[in-house]
Structure 1
Amino acid sequence: MEKFKKRWEITQDWQLLFPLIGIIALAYTSYKISNAVISKFGVIAKVLLAVALFFILLRFTLFLFKKLENKWILDQKWEMIRVFIVFAITGSSSMFVGRPVIKLLGITKENLNVFIYWILFIIIGLVFYQILLVFFGFLFGQFRFFWEFEKKMLKRFGLGKFVN
């Protein structure tokens, strides 16, 4: 455990919460993907595929951490896990918020071309994503990181004049 704490620069026990949440979320994601891919097979096949996916996704996530470690300016390595959790929650939440808004606006696949529907769905999702990213960043104690990230993203969209 001490080796793990040292590797991730964990100085207080409460900081272990974020690696634990990350591992649980990765396991859940692996199982959901496994269930979607082989839904007709038995539980044992789903669990075996989920375990294999878990290790593949874990390796990929650690690869991403290594690549972003020097690019993202964070005080400690464990904060990268917190940032990844915020990205995950924000992505899911923006779609959960976007769906009812689309329905409220009366936009459906039945009354609109499917191509136009999906373009509008993505645009509405992106709008909520921008708002929720800063909101969840604030909740997870990473407001400054996500505010700077947001400003860069808006500049890339050509909306940099609206943020300072």
Structure 2
Amino acid sequence: MNDYRLNLLVPGEIEDFSKFHTELGAVLEVLKVMEDRETLAELMREKSNVYEHLPRDAAELLRIFAKIDMEIEEDEEEINMCRAIDEMVAEAREVGEEAGKKIGRKEGRENLITNIMRNFSRFGVTFEEASSYISEEDFSRDQLRGLWEKACGDKTGIM
């Protein structure tokens, strides 16, 4: 069996991508920073002359290895990766914002129910009575009990 030398490239360990004289350097540089959206966006701005006109084969490599959801038309010879990355970052930001809003709404409902239960408790209403007035599809009975305990510090719900 013949022994062949194998050079393994690890993008995360490469410091100077200017040593590459083909599009492989551009591909590896994106793979290195792919997990950090801000650094990726900065790279696209700094090297827009490279990434706005990336050859099709290099763009295909990035699409596959970086898992970039993008369409590449058969007749396209150059791909604008800056636009594709910008769209990906914007989409991720929208998903994050929507998740944050959802969490905020749930916390708001929890605070409202906690305050309602606290007021019920002040007037001698038990957990059983209070929970019968609260129709909240987002919270199970156990979650409501937890909110009652948070509001009243009373485990039994009996005054």
TM-score, normalised by the number of residues in structure 1 = 0.28
Quick check: which has more Rg, 1 or 2?
Answer: 2
* Larger RCO (CA within 8 A; separation ≥ 6): 1
